[in-house]
Structure 1
């Protein structure tokens, strides 16, 4: 009798799971796209979409550009599941003004129908083409490709950005009982693209170059030879500029490809590499944030230095802001 009672209990549980599963909306990129406000879908251009799945949790992201308002918006749906049953669905949105014209990345929402939910995978829609898993990393330009033939170019900064998801703005963390917020790593109005973090020498690359009058051109290089540009609001200081021929590039690139750095960056939420002038010398730095490990790490690549890890408290999203007070502040 007892065995029969236990069997009946488990049978009821299984029936409840089956009923719940049969009544799930079975979210897809297409169905979640319809949850985005109609005004946004009509007035803004879809410029990228991203799906990622890990250990049963799924994330769906949509990036929009409004050419009239010069605004970027990212909608994120995070869905926590158990036995394919949705336990929790979180929605978030961030919208920032941008100096770049992202209309060149406009892609058809019809392509979202080609997304298929999968386990422990990544799928990116970019310029009307879908990339999966390791294909995503290979589409980004590399530092080597970008600097070829530019030895005499005058720079203020040279930066490479990588993210685990579509994002923008700076990463913010919550500190202590009072909920103080601090921001790390990022650029105002820049669309950050998703990466597997397996190749720190590949990503969205930003060149800050100067003209003879000190004006700073900001040039962002995206996959598929897409180049976006704007002019910074500040001018370059003469003691901040440098040329590539002054940098030991072979050593820098070798360090970016080292197993030590690649292994340290793995799993991070955001990674940034930069070259700037600090006083009498030019420095190359790498920095990354890994909330799961509670780490904000820095590594001076040139001149060689050790990896320094600072405690990272709690990831609290992204904030639309500039990095520091102006574009000339040391990075990272």
Structure 2
């Protein structure tokens, strides 16, 4: 594995120190007896997010100490040839291991989607295709349920609205487990199937579609719902009936007035259970709306900063003596492609550019 450039290691060292300081500060916050539940929850959540990176940093620190000890042993064991050769061999292995750890720490410092480790809410809706689409929606929903079980995640049904042929017009569920949202978030969108449905007697192939939405679950700390912003309606559940199902006002519809977001749940017999499920779905939808708003704001700001790329735009000029230039603001040297292809790693070049672009995001650990 190739060695990271010295100036990039220097930048990485600064980030590592910031993370160590932030982790120590959060540990103090967690141990404060007078901390409010909200403060404790936020500090505890952030502390656990930094935990894996902190473990890698500690491992890298220990490896550096081991290398220093082996170097000292090689230099000072003048008369003991066997011991010196053994230490030299271990030193080579330790240096290779240090390179691997540096790459791992470097990747962990690049910003990630903070929602990736969250639980998620899955929503499946039948689209074009009539009853065949509802049957396909049922297949899709059960597919994700099976996939969740195979990954060791917990899958709980929130609500199912059936169709005439016992397919699913709409279905939603919660998926709980480490990294659930990160692994499933790209499933969102339109899913299409072309097959001969059970509703077809002539053997013709039909095309049906369903929409899939995967939302990160939000805690009460993330989305605070005010009573004055909610309109809660109760009504009798629809469907095939059954004991106490269509005879009481157990179904719940919650409208978030400021955004117009509506969630209706009638899956449970208890009004309180339906309300709890509806609030969970509502928080997830509002959390995703806010995430999308922030993403759009950042994209707009980035577009304004980058401009059209035309020569009339305000620009910074970089001169490349001998095919390279050093950006002294961040201490990173950019090499020409020719230099890289002659021996430098293209991956390191790309990673360096990524680190520079995301510098401000990583610096947020110090706030």
Query: Which TM-score band (shorter chain)?
Result: under 0.3
Question: Higher strand fraction: Structure 1 or Structure 2?
Answer: 1
TM-score normalised to the size of structure 1?
0.23
Question: Higher helix fraction: Structure 1 or Structure 2?
Answer: 2
Structure label with greater radius of gyration: 2
